[in-house]
């Protein structure tokens, strides 16, 4: 190869490629281990999270992982009932966003879309003002957390199941859109190590049914 070309390639590698790769490794490591965002393409968490929301994922809410892996270096907390979390599905490894409704040691049961926790019914309040003609919205009170859940009478779903005791290091996840959510009722418990992080807020939001116009009222809004 021409010495002049060798010199140019060496300069290109040292001044452009190496710095770019270094920055890329730093950014991807940060996203892998510390913080990330997650686009929401489905309505399984309606009415809390809408299609087109981009949610913030706090990956150090519970632990510190080795970048690009699920191995934990340190742990300082565990998901709590009511937390919205991002995790790898045990069924197909896809990233899902759901709410923790049962933690290790809990006995959870559902009767006609009403949760029972450790033998006691969870409280519900009417909250249907935002519901469409086919949907019903109520407020579910999970511990000291109040959040909205949606049901759709007439739609196929698992609305009842017998009491289940949640094993050690396992969690029971459900979508707030109870009749339109692929969750632990279908794929079972979620192992602690599959949980990527906690989703505390919507960062940005667009309306895919309205030419992807921004929903400014949802920007930087906390998730209940």
Residue 74 CA to residue 79 CA, distance in Å, equals 15
CB atoms near residue 109 (< 10 Å): 17
| φ and ψ of 90, to 5 deg | -70, -15
Given the residues 44, 138, 184, 205, the one annotated as active site = 44
Instruction: Give the residue among 172, 5, 210, 163 at the shortest CA–CA distance from 79.
Output: 172
C-alpha–C-alpha distance, residues 224 and 219, integer Å: 15
| Tokens, residue 16 | 């452009």
Write down how long the chain is.
224
Neighbour tally for 165: CB within 10 Å: 12
Task: Take residue 102 and report the two structure tokens written for it.
Answer: 């049962």
Question: Using an 8 Å Cβ cutoff, are 142 and 149 in contact?
Answer: no
Catalytic position from the list 29, 42, 65, 98: 98
Catalytic annotation present for 98: yes
44 is catalytic: yes
Active site residues: 44, 98
């Amino acid at each position: 190869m021409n010495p002049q070309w060798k010199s140019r390639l060496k300069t290109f590698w040292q001044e452009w490629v190496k710095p770019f790769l270094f920055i890329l490794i730093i950014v991807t490591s940060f996203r892998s281990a510390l913080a990330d965002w997650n686009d929401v393409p489905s309505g399984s968490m309606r009415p809390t999270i809408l299609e087109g929301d981009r949610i913030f994922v706090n990956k150090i809410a519970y632990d510190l992982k080795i970048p690009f892996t699920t191995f934990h270096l340190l742990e300082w907390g565990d998901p709590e009932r009511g937390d919205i979390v991002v995790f790898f599905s045990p069924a197909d490894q896809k990233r899902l966003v759901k709410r923790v409704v049962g933690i290790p040691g809990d006995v959870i049961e559902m009767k006609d879309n009403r949760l029972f926790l450790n033998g006691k019914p969870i409280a519900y309040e009417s909250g249907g003002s935002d519901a469409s003609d086919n949907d019903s919205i109520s407020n579910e009170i999970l511990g000291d957390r109040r959040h909205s859940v949606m049901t759709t009478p007439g739609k196929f779903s698992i609305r009842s199941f017998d009491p289940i005791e949640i094993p050690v290091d396992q969690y029971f996840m459900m979508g707030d859109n109870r009749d339109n959510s692929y969750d632990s009722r279908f794929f079972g418990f979620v192992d602690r190590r599959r949980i990527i992080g906690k989703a505390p807020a919507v960062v940005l939001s667009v309306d895919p049914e309205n030419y992807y116009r921004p929903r400014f009222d949802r920007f930087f809004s906390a998730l209940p």
